[in-house]
Structure 1
Amino acid sequence: MTNLQRTGLERPGRMSYNADVTRNIHHYLTVDRDWGPLEIKQKGSRFIAFLSSAPDREAAEERIGALRDSHHDATHVCFAWRMTNGEETEHRYNDDGEPGGTAGLPIFNEVRRKDYVNVVLAVVRYFGGVKLGTGGLARAYGRAARLVMEASRPVRVILTEPAELTFPFDLTGEVMQVLRRLELKITGQEHTPAGTRLEVLVPRGRMTELQMALLEAGGGRISLTAGPPET
């Protein structure tokens, strides 16, 4: 096995790309900054792991390309990414020339084990002169990936839906009390001759709870419309 000069292009290797429908997601785990590099050594080979946040697949692929450019003398740059838009989760992993199933899949398994999404996890290998065999490769890639995953701190992202409230001025106190109790974020406000219009973000699955709280607070005088405001 010899080192290859890299140009930012992906080499042939086993690749998996898959998408799954995952409805009714209310929140997910991710990271909000880069973690790594963290390195292990196995029989002279260096395995260097990097974990990054990526909002979408294009950003993940750009991150992989940047790693290939900065480690152009590495033997392999193997990776996995996993993305969600709140309705569908998709993933991809690649062995980058290593024997099939020995690099990308062990890396992806670590992402899935922590249930992270909107992340890209890469392990850069510098060959040390001794072949590790398929089992040794899988263990080394998995161990490097786990090292950086265990070092990371997850961020919980709560998915929200927009809603609009309209109410007369004399119910302002009651509405604000409901919003504070449910910890809802106000994103827009407008005063009209008839009263106040508020735009808020409601965590998924809690629209009915908000509706019932407003009904109790305003006796039917507070209007709630789910969805973005009309423009």
Structure 2
Amino acid sequence: MKDIYKTIAFPSEEILFKEKNSKFFGYAFPVTTEDEIKNHLEILRKKHFGAVHCCYAFQLGTDKIQFRANDDGEPSNTAGMPIYGQIQSFGLTNILVVVVRFFGGIKLGVGGLIAAYRTSAQMALENAEIIEKTIDIHYAISFDYKNMNKVMRVIKEKNIEIISQKMEMSCEIEIATRKKNAEMVFDIFSNLFEVEIKLKE
């Protein structure tokens, strides 16, 4: 079972690619939600106020893949798809790549545009630190305080990450475990007396 994916550690440094007086600024951002994507795009549009096109592509998710490629006024499939092609060729997800273009007065033609957007996206990704992350499954475990020790023993033995905990008379702990271990972890807690485990949405 595949439970690792590749993304980037931090937003990349801005890169600049020039072609026949046109300037292409490339960026890559690690993202997990569409709200984050909107936010990055708004900031870049304000930063490059005079730019003609702010083209981008993103991919989110590990099981259910969600992606979009946007040409932002460039001829169809000359900007967004070449950018998305680079995301795929680097094998990345949970990522947004944006290329902002300032028109230099000379038309590049369809082939020229595709090459320029592809190169700019490639440069942005080469400039980013690519990392591997595990696909984690989150569970909520509920139990009475008196059962704390046996729950904590499993968490320690199995090296399970605690995301959050609420310790009162009735306790709740949110844990994260690698996808490949998820079933085993679920079974262990399911078999513990007076302990309830459920998948966290």
Please state which band the TM-score falls in when normalised by the shorter chain: 0.7 to 0.9
Tell me, yes or no, if structure 1 residue 226 matches structure 2 residue 194: no
Instruction: Quote the Cα distance in structure 1 between the aligned partners of 2:32 and 2:151.
Output: 34
CA 73–168 in structure 1, closer or farther in 2 if over 3 Å, else same: closer
Instruction: Quote the Cα distance in structure 2 between the aligned partners of 1:211 and 1:76.
Output: 49
For 2:39, the equivalent position in structure 1 comes to 62
Tell me the SS of whatever aligns to 1:129. Answer: coil
CA 162–214 in structure 1, closer or farther in 2 if over 3 Å, else same: closer
Which residues of structure 1 form unaligned runs of 5+?
A: 1-23
For 2:83, the equivalent position in structure 1 comes to 107
For 1:141, the equivalent position in structure 2 comes to 117
Tell me the SS of whatever aligns to 1:206. Answer: helix
Measured after TM superposition, the shift of residue 102 of structure 1 is 1.2
Tell me the SS of whatever aligns to 1:130. Answer: coil
For 1:207, the equivalent position in structure 2 comes to 182
Residue 88 of structure 1 aligns with an amino acid whose one-letter code is: K
Which residues of structure 2 form unaligned runs of 5+?
A: none
Tell me, yes or no, if structure 1 residue 97 matches structure 2 residue 73: yes
Q: Which has the larger radius of gyration?
A: 1
CA 89–46 in structure 1, closer or farther in 2 if over 3 Å, else same: same
Tell me, yes or no, if structure 1 residue 125 matches structure 2 residue 96: no
CA 25–159 in structure 1, closer or farther in 2 if over 3 Å, else same: farther
Measured after TM superposition, the shift of residue 208 of structure 1 is 3.1
Instruction: Quote the Cα distance in structure 1 between the aligned partners of 2:49 and 2:168.
Output: 59
Q: Is the CA contact 2:32–2:60 (under 8 Å) kept in the aligned structure 1?
A: yes
Measured after TM superposition, the shift of residue 111 of structure 1 is 1.5
Instruction: Quote the Cα distance in structure 1 between the aligned partners of 2:192 and 2:39.
Output: 51
CA 166–137 in structure 1, closer or farther in 2 if over 3 Å, else same: same
Q: Is the CA contact 1:211–1:224 (under 8 Å) kept in the aligned structure 2?
A: no
For 1:48, the equivalent position in structure 2 comes to 25
Residue 179 of structure 1 aligns with an amino acid whose one-letter code is: I
CA 131–185 in structure 1, closer or farther in 2 if over 3 Å, else same: same
Question: Structure 2-normalised TM-score?
Answer: 0.78
Measured after TM superposition, the shift of residue 202 of structure 1 is 3.7
Q: Once structures 1 and 2 are overlaid, which stretch shifts more, 150-159 or 107-116?
A: 150-159
Question: Structure 1-normalised TM-score?
Answer: 0.69
Q: Is the CA contact 2:142–2:171 (under 8 Å) kept in the aligned structure 1?
A: yes
User: How many residues in Structure 1 have an aligned counterpart in Structure 2?
Assistant: 197
Measured after TM superposition, the shift of residue 32 of structure 1 is 4.5
